[in-house]
Amino acid sequence: MPPRIVARTAGLLLLLLACAGPVRAANAERPLVVGSIRPLYLIVLAVAGNRVDARQLLDAGSSAHDFALRPSQLRLLSDARQVFWIDPALEHPLQPLLARLQGPRRDTALLPLLGLPPRADGVVDPHVWLDPRLALALATHIERVLLARGLIQEGELDLAAFAASMHEAETRMAAELAGLEKRPFAAMHDGYGYFVRRFALRPPTVLALDAEQQVGARTLSRMRREVRDHAAQCLLAERSGGNRRLAQAIAAGSGIPVVELDSLAADVPPGPDALARFLVDFARGVAGCLRGAEAGSEAR
């Protein structure tokens, strides 16, 4: 290559590196903050915005109870300045992985900070983000941790805007569910307790299986009988759960619709009001279920 071209090429490379340097530096200045599940990621994004590099650990549609992380996800944990998760009651496989990370602990389990009472089985229900007031409590603790660890500065957070979005979401959710408080329904998942209590709904008949329990004719018959005995208007199933076919089989013998919901906000695009939009849509889906077969089929 002629010397003049070599010099010109070298000069161009130096110019590109000089331009790229500030970008890398700017990215490096934004602390990497990881939310284990999408609702936590959306809260971090709403509260901290682009002041942090917010990432979601678990893929959309993954079970929060049972998962194995890919190497790229393990690197995300290792590189994070802060990891927010709910509790071993939800993301159980995450606990030993976080404990093995080198250096001081950089993770915060948020559920214990809320001081909520346990259920009858002795476990604190981890599905706190389905209640807008508890979602706001999560955001408040996230703000405190980010400030205490110096990852952002006072006045850089948008907690007030998030609080306003949660208050508006609760109002709209209550309007969707108005008049449906006494309607009976069944659910394939014991994760709606906070939502049900916030809006004074009738507790669902929960048809969840134990981890070791096999589904046979006897189990299916028992579940159909429970649905009939409680006069359930419909059956709620998780869109990402492994019991969708079972829910359809139960409903087929009970004459009620199945309404599939996504309690992990898997399909919600990120944005400042993403969690609020998700909660309103979730309430709308439950309301469609409670209105019976016709409305339930529209909500699906």
- Percent of the chain at pLDDT > 70 equals 85
Full-model pTM = 0.85
Confidence of residue 147 (pLDDT cuts 50, 70, 90): very high
> Rounded to whole angstroms, how far apart are CA atoms 17 and 127?
47
Q: Summarize the confidence of residues 88-95 as an average pLDDT.
A: 92
State whether residue 186 is helix, strand or coil.
strand
* Residues in Cβ contact with 182 at an 8 Å cutoff, skipping those fewer than 6 apart: 202
SS (H, E, C) 127-162: CHHHCHHHHHHHHHHHHHHHHHCCCCCCCCCCHHHH
CATH superfamily of domain region 173-299:
Nitrogenase molybdenum iron protein domain (3.40.50.1980)
Domain with CATH 3.40.50.1980 in the chain: 10-171, 173-299
Per-residue burial over 180-199, b if 16 or more Cβ lie within 10 Å, else e, is beebbbbbbbebbbbbbebb
215-252 pLDDT tens trace: 788 888 999 999 999 999 999 998 876 678 889 899 88
> Rounded to whole angstroms, how far apart are CA atoms 12 and 247?
62
- Percent of the chain at pLDDT > 90 equals 64
Question: 10-171, which class in CATH?
Answer: alpha beta
pLDDT above 60 for 193: yes
Tell me what pLDDT residue 64 has. 81
Confidence of residue 33 (pLDDT cuts 50, 70, 90): very high
Confidence of residue 148 (pLDDT cuts 50, 70, 90): very high
The three-point CA angle 85-88-92 to 5° equals 100
Termini Cα distance of the chain: 65
pLDDT above 50 for 295: no
